[in-house]
Structure 1
Amino acid sequence: MVIEFILKVIAISSSGALAPGPLSAATAALGTKHGWKGGFMVSSGHLAVELPLVIVIAFFISSSGQIEEIMRPLALIGGIFLLLFGYLTLKSASEIGVVSVREQRFSPFLTGVALSAFNPFFIAWWAGVGSALISEALLIFGTLGIAILYASHIWIDFAFLSILAYFTSFKGLTVRAYKFLLVFLGTFVLFFGLDYLFFSLTGLHLPELMKKL
């Protein structure tokens, strides 16, 4: 159960972490000056915004005292977001090209804070997909589930952004390989989106249905 949940979090989180966006673009630019440490500090700034947000969402969900009752509505919202996010991930894979960067003088940590706190898609992701994952974590593991969820999620940001900064805008990762990775992750996210929608309607996850067939 723990491994299955961790793998789900990793698959869903990876699509967000690896998708081209302001944070990854800024990290690539900062890498020209700071190397991998720039990516690490951007991730630290991102964590400074994200962790409190996760704790607040978890608090409101757990304090409702009706985790099981709100699971299906949250799964519906999360499923819609995942389908949209999966589509955007696949769209990004078809559009990504050569990325050019310039040397930046901004603080990597403050860049991570600003591009997270003022990113509406980041907030929307946690309000939609993240809330569904948080409620599932609380239902299965209790309060410990938040630690399991976040540990399974945040290392991806640190790993990817540090590597991205080190290779300075995909110089160590070919565009073709990056596109393939996005297609792979986008497909996974679409599956989980369908799974969440199915759960919101039936109370069952798709793997559970497959076992019964």
Structure 2
Amino acid sequence: MDIYLKYLLVGLAIALPVGAITVEMTKQGLKNGFFHGWAVGLGGMTIDGFLILALYFGLAAILSLPYVQMPLWIIGAIFLVMLGYDSIKNADKDITLAGEKPTKSFWSTYKNGILVAISPGNLVFWVSVFGTVLTQSYNTTHSGSFVVAAIGIISGIVVHDIGLLLIVATSRKVMSRNMIKWSSIIAGGLLFFFAGYFIYQFVNNLVEFI
């Protein structure tokens, strides 16, 4: 139980910094309500689950290689630029105010969450975080504790997502269509920012590699 609670707090700490998934989740939550924001989170956690399995079987060692990371960072940057552009371009579309029925399907939003989560640069970032935390658990204990630690981390992410979306759902009730539109534009700008961060990581890796 102590291991679970420890890694639940670790998962919460990992999820707290604003990332691409958080931006997309907030945007969809504002546009279409709690469950659509939650769908993005579920999409992200689906990929997190696969990443944890991959780490268990040794993926972290492969992705830690500089010549593997470099193309992933730059591809991830391109991916986020495309998402950011789409967020700004379609800022005034698919908006449903509180009390209205969303026009966008739950599964469509879920797929958005998966697409953001599988951005190559995002994968490298999360593998580096998960790898450090979970590998330590695996090395210092045993595989059973690794599983408990992984469940704890996922639980922490769930707590973060639900808390965030409750705030978003409450805020949405008092927001106008224009305010939601501008929130989507800001979300697009943040995705551009993360793309810039990925490019920065690419340049750093390139300099070290040379």
Does structure 1 residue 178 correspond to structure 2 residue 201? no
Count of aligned positions: 180
For normalisation by structure 1, the TM-score amounts to: 0.57
- Are 1:101 and 2:106 an aligned pair? no
Determine the C-alpha separation between the residues in 2 that align with 1:62 and 1:202: 30
Task: Point out where structure 1 has 5 or more consecutive residues left out of the alignment.
Answer: 32-38, 205-213
Residue 122 of structure 1: aligned partner:
113
Number of the residue aligned with 2:196: 191
Taking a change above 3 Å as real, the CA distance of residues 137 and 129 of structure 1, as seen in their structure-2 partners, is same
2:5 is aligned to none
Gaps of 5+ in 2: 1-9, 138-148
Q: Please report the TM-score for the alignment, with normalisation by the length of structure 2.
A: 0.57
Alignment of 1:5-154 (within 5 A): 6=14, 10-19=18-27, 24=28, 28-29=31-32, 31=33, 39=34, 41-44=35-38, 46-48=40-42, 50-64=44-58, 67-71=60-64, 72=66, 73-74=68-69, 76-90=71-85, 92-93=87-88, 95-97=90-92, 100-101=95-96, 103-104=100-101, 112=106, 114-117=107-110, 119=111, 121-127=112-118, 128-143=120-135, 151=156
* Separation in 2, partners of 1:88, 1:46: 14
Deviation at 1:77, TM superposition (A): 1.9
Question: In 1, Cα distance between the equivalents of 2:109 and 2:94?
Answer: 21
Change in 2 beyond 3 A, CA 1:191/1:148: farther
CA distance in 2, matches of 1:80, 1:17: 22
Q: Secondary structure at the match of 2:19?
A: helix
Please provide the CA RMSD for this pair: 4.5
Q: In structure 2, what is the Cα distance between the partners aligned to 1:183 and 1:42?
A: 18
Q: What is the percent sequence identity of the aligned residues?
A: 8
Distance (Å, rounded) in 2 between the aligned partners of 1:197 and 1:190: 11
Once the two structures are superposed, what CA deviation does each residue of 1:2-56 show, in whole Å capped at 9, x if it has no partner?
9xx948952333333345xxxx28x745x5xxxxxxx1x4455555554343122
Residue 185 of structure 1, CA deviation: 1.0
